[in-house]
Amino acid sequence: MNIAVLGTGSVGATIASKLVSLGHDVMMGSRTAGNEKAVAWAQAAGARARTGTFADAAGFGEVVFNCTKGGASLEALRAAGDGALDGKVLVDVSNSIPPLPPGSASLGEQIQQACPGARVVKALNTMNAAMMVDPGQLPGAHAVFVSGNDAGAKAQVTAILQSFGWRDVIDLGDITTARQVEAYLGLWLALWKSLGTMAFNIAIVRR
């Protein structure tokens, strides 16, 4: 599949490299063409990796991962161009640091509103980058969540997550539930501090 990854940070590079390793063609998008971090990533990642602007990447990908910082996501998506994401699956991995005030719409909802033609799925924002693409580093079927309005888009994202090794993909409901997984960031940060490692995740234990 042709997949775009918006953002050149560690989350973007980690997800993009995993997608390349699974045989996808991946374009990393950034504000300007020739972004140093994007070029360095593409050189390391091999023939299936390429780079471009946010608009280039949005045009290239059937599925688009938003891995930009939460505070920069809406601007990055605007830079992708009006309607560029129409009909596409937009996987929103972003978190807001510092957290959004309680009561405000989540980033996932804000992005769906800003890109009404995109099929936004919130996912993967509840663990660190290494865990996102390597859930097998921990035992058992620990959890990743999907939130979105489009069932077909959630099914496509679920299949990608399963290809990463995820065994318990929980559909939380429509995009308004992005609020709940974004609000979990505070508990994640407290657990990181308490446990002294980022190599953890939550499992949803039920009968």
- By CB under 8 A, name the binding residues for a second copy: 99-104, 137-140, 142, 170-173, 177, 179-181, 183-184, 186-187, 189-191, 193-195, 197, 199-207
Nearer to a second copy, 60 or 184 (CB): 184
Residues whose CB falls within 8 Å of the CB of residue 21, separated by 6 or more in sequence, listed in order: none
Structure tokens at 171: 């559909």
Nearer to a second copy, 33 or 183 (CB): 183
| Min separation Cβ 15 and a second copy, Å | 21
| Min separation Cβ 64 and a second copy, Å | 25
| Min separation Cβ 105 and a second copy, Å | 12
Distances (CA, A) of 43 to 9, 34, 49, 51, 68: 16, 12, 8, 10, 21
Nearer to a second copy, 88 or 154 (CB): 154
| Min separation Cβ 169 and a second copy, Å | 11
d(CA 48, CA 116): 30
End-to-end CA distance of the chain: 36
List the Cα angle 117/181/72 in 5-degree steps: 55
Nearer to a second copy, 22 or 138 (CB): 138
| Min separation Cβ 86 and a second copy, Å | 28
Nearer to a second copy, 56 or 92 (CB): 92
Under a CB-based contact definition with an 8 Å cutoff, are residues 85 and 117 in contact?
A: yes
